[in-house]
Structure 1
Amino acid sequence: MQVTLLGTGDTTGTPTAGCSCDTCEYAREHDVERTRYSVHVHNERTGESLLVDASPDFRYQFLERDVDLPDAAVITHIHFDHLDGLGNAYRLLSSLPVYAADETDPNTSESVADTVERRFDYLDAITAHPQTPLEPFETCGFEVTLLPVDHPPLVCYGLVVEDPETGAKLSLSGDTSFGIPESSRERLRGADLLLADGIVPAHMSEHHPYGGKHEDDSGVPRTFGTKHMTIEGAKSLGEELNAADTRVVHVSHYVPADEAFEDPLAVDGERYEL
């Protein structure tokens, strides 16, 4: 299993357009970036590739990285920075099965799979394949499981991608607070690589109108506001789940420049062989 981090940023990316903050300036000067979130998972055994979330930066990401176009995709939730890249299937892909949860969101009255089908009904290449959370399904030679997480007000999912032949395991937290249900935590546990959402350092929680929550024993917030983990929360999750390696993703440009590119915060283009 070859995992390529196509996009490791949040909804505006780093550098952010029109921003001259120290972090964005550092990124420009050192030619590093975090485009909107997306992960490419290649199966060397079958030659197939799975795309986890379709970034609006799809075209740029696939031009920039030496990876194959996807044979299938999984969409974790309907925020534009994870969904809108599916429009790139137009005149580019002849077929793209898109797997997404079948659970109806009370806030939208439709599931993620329903939204994919409705939003992209004009693209013949895209077919929505509804999947029940916590029940494994097969695609691209992998066993994949969608896992409910905590990203209010919308339903959102992390996932596990496993190779049944080699035993390689990739876990992705999805966009989430630290309040991930125990049933999902148990499935995420023991990964060779965990990609964990960590949007800002815990000390920045004082700037959020809702502050921070899910404090650790030292009082450090592991959730920033209500929707995302802090960087400390992402690291803590990796330790709790006994991940062999944890990379922090969905990182914002609000992270101070002297912290923004420290290990284990990921940047675009990182590649892992599991």
Structure 2
Amino acid sequence: MRVTLLGTGDTTGTPTVGCDCDTCNEARERGIERTRFSVHVENERTGESLLVDFSPDFRHQFLTQETPLPDAAVVTHIHFDHLDGLGNVYRLLDHLDVHATNEVDPMKDESVAGTIRSKFDYLDRIEVHDQTPLEPFRTCGFDVTFVPVVHPPLLCYGVAIEDPETGAKLSISGDSTFAIPEESREVLADPDILLAEALVPSSLCEYHPAGGHDHDENGVPRTFGTKHMTREGAISLGEDLNADVTRLVHVAHYYPPEEAFEEPLAVDGEVYDL
């Protein structure tokens, strides 16, 4: 299993367009990017590859990273920075299997799979497959499981991807607070690598109208506001899940420049062979 981090940024990416903050300027000077979130997972046994989420930066990512176009994809939720890149596959692929959950979101009266069908009805070469959360399915030679996480107001999912032949395992938290349900944690547990969302450092919680939540034993908030994990929360999640390696993704440009590119925060283009 070869894992390539195509996009490690949040909804605006780093550098952010039109922003001259110290962190964005530092990224420009270093030639570092955090484009919108997406992960490429290649099965070297079968020659197939799986894409996790369709970043709006799809074209740029596949032009700049040495990864083949996907044979199949999974979508964690319907926010712009995770779904809207699907339109980029127009005229690039003859066929693409897209897997998404069948659970109806009461806020939308539609499942993630249903939203993809209605929003991208013009893409006649994609085939959307409904999947039930917590029930594994096989694609690209991998066993894949969607797990519910907490990202209000919409339903959102993390993903566990395992190679049944080699035992390699990738877990992705999805966009979530630290309060991931226990049954989801059990599925995500013991990965070779965990990609955990870490929007901001916990020190910024004082500036959020909702403050910070899910405090650890030292009073450090592991949730920023009501929708995202802090850096400290993501690191703690990795420890709780017994991850061999934890890389922090979905990172915003609000990190101070002296912290923004330090371990274990990921940047685009990192590759891991599991």
If the TM-score is normalised by the length of the shorter chain, which range does it land in? over 0.9
Partner of 1:209: 209
Partner of 2:118: 118
Partner of 1:39: 39
1:1-274 equivalent positions in 2, closer than 5 A: 1-274=1-274
Shift of 1:77: 0.1
The letter of the residue matching 1:62 is F
120-129 or 170-179: bigger deviation: 120-129
Shift of 1:124: 1.1
Per-residue Cα deviation, 1:144-183 (whole angstroms, up to 9, x for no partner): 0000000000000001000000000000000000010000
Q: For the Cα contact (< 8 Å) 1:162–1:169, is it kept in 2?
A: yes
The letter of the residue matching 1:233 is G
The letter of the residue matching 2:217 is D
Unpaired stretches in structure 2, ≥5 consecutive residues: none
**Alignment partner of 2:221: what SS?**
coil
Q: Considering only aligned residues, what root-mean-square deviation do their CA atoms show, in Å?
A: 0.4
Give, in whole Å, the separation in 2 of the partners of 1:68 and 1:149.
Answer: 29
The letter of the residue matching 1:269 is G
The letter of the residue matching 2:251 is V
Q: For the Cα contact (< 8 Å) 1:173–1:194, is it kept in 2?
A: yes
The letter of the residue matching 1:133 is P
Give, in whole Å, the separation in 2 of the partners of 1:251 and 1:106.
Answer: 28
Following superposition, which runs of at least 4 residues in structure 1 exceed 4 angstroms of deviation?
none
Give the aligned length.
274
Unpaired stretches in structure 1, ≥5 consecutive residues: none
Q: Percent same amino acid at aligned positions?
A: 69
Per-residue Cα deviation, 1:121-161 (whole angstroms, up to 9, x for no partner): 10111111010000000000000000000000000000100
Per-residue Cα deviation, 1:173-221 (whole angstroms, up to 9, x for no partner): 0000001000000111100000000000000001111000000000000
Give, in whole Å, the separation in 1 of the partners of 2:89 and 2:263.
Answer: 34
Give, in whole Å, the separation in 2 of the partners of 1:228 and 1:252.
Answer: 11
**Alignment partner of 1:106: what SS?**
coil
**Alignment partner of 1:13: what SS?**
coil
TM-score, reference length from structure 2: 1.00
Per-residue Cα deviation, 1:17-53 (whole angstroms, up to 9, x for no partner): 0000000000000000100000000000000000000
Q: For the Cα contact (< 8 Å) 1:113–1:128, is it kept in 2?
A: yes
Q: For the Cα contact (< 8 Å) 1:27–1:33, is it kept in 2?
A: yes
Q: For the Cα contact (< 8 Å) 1:89–1:125, is it kept in 2?
A: no
Per-residue Cα deviation, 1:217-255 (whole angstroms, up to 9, x for no partner): 000000000110000000000001100000000000011
**Alignment partner of 1:81: what SS?**
helix
Shift of 1:89: 1.3
Give, in whole Å, the separation in 2 of the partners of 1:258 and 1:142.
Answer: 38
